Amino acid sequence: MSASGHSNTGGRPGLPVRGNVVLVGFMGSGKSSVGRLIARTLRGRFVDTDRLVTDAAGREITDIFAQEGEAWFRLQESRSLRSLRAGSGLVISTGGGIVTVPENLPLLKALGFVVWLEASEEVLWERVSRNNKRPLLHTENPRATLHALLEKRNPLYASVADLRVDTSGLTHMEVAGQILARQPR
Ligand code: S3P
């Protein structure tokens, strides 16, 4: 994180000048819910890269994966991330696989203060198995798939994160509180 992008000289609480808060983490880590809470408190604008992609495509994620495939989804995801470069005062929730595309890593870092929402594998499984909206887990053994994806992705989340918060056992409000207490002003 560069010091210059995050000095808040305006004297009022809120997002760092020109900075954004970027939430990364696995499916089920609470990025969207926590992001909305933070945006409300900081009076920033909440943006969700999944939502940018589905709005542009006019289709749900499961339909995009089924009809166009994951590679196409990743291209649109990277494009939506690039479209945010000019923004400021944003709280950005990202899709769990955004870190798997190498070109996205410097983009994420350049966008602002990157927070990794972590949770134990058991907690993530408990959360994601509640619904059927994650096409990458539509496999014969979704539990094993989750394990393999986590193994691959955890080092990538770690490589971009300015802050990591273990969300296991915490409410969304508690997670938001930890981020707000530690984000640069
Ligand atoms: C994905 C996570 C999803 C969504 C898509 C792929 C992934 O977002 O982008 O289903 O690869 O982990 P959430 O992390 O918001 O569930």
Q: What is the pLDDT of residue 130?
A: 87
At 2 the pLDDT is 41
CB-ligand 1 contact for 48 (6 Å cutoff): no
Q: Which of 136, 149, 156, 167 is the best mutation target for the ligand 1 pocket, counting ligand atoms within 8 Å of the beta carbon and taking the most?
A: 136
Tokens of 31: 């990025």
Radius of gyration of the chain (CA): 16
Q: How far is the CA of 162 from the centre of ligand 1 (A)?
A: 21
Q: E-assigned strands of 11-161? A: 21-24, 45-48, 90-93, 113-118
61 Cβ closer than 6 Å to some ligand 1 atom:
yes
Q: What is the dihedral of CA 116, 65, 126, 129, to 10 degrees?
A: 170
Decide: 53 in ligand 1 pocket, CB within 6 A.
Answer: no
Phi, psi of 55 (to 5 degrees): -65, -45
Q: Which amino acid is at 129?
A: S
Q: Which helix (H) or strand (E) holds 178?
A: helix 172-182
pTM over 0.75: yes
Per-residue pLDDT tens digits of the chain, which is 185 residues long:
443 434 443 434 565 545 899 999 999 999 999 999 999 999 999 999 999 999 999 999 999 999 999 999 999 999 999 999 999 999 999 999 999 999 999 999 999 999 999 999 999 999 999 888 899 999 999 999 999 999 999 999 999 999 999 999 999 999 999 999 998 87
Q: What is the pLDDT, as a whole number, of residue 124?
A: 96
Ligand 1 atom 4: the closest Cα is on which residue? 95
Residue 60 corresponds to which tokens in the numbers above? 């749900």
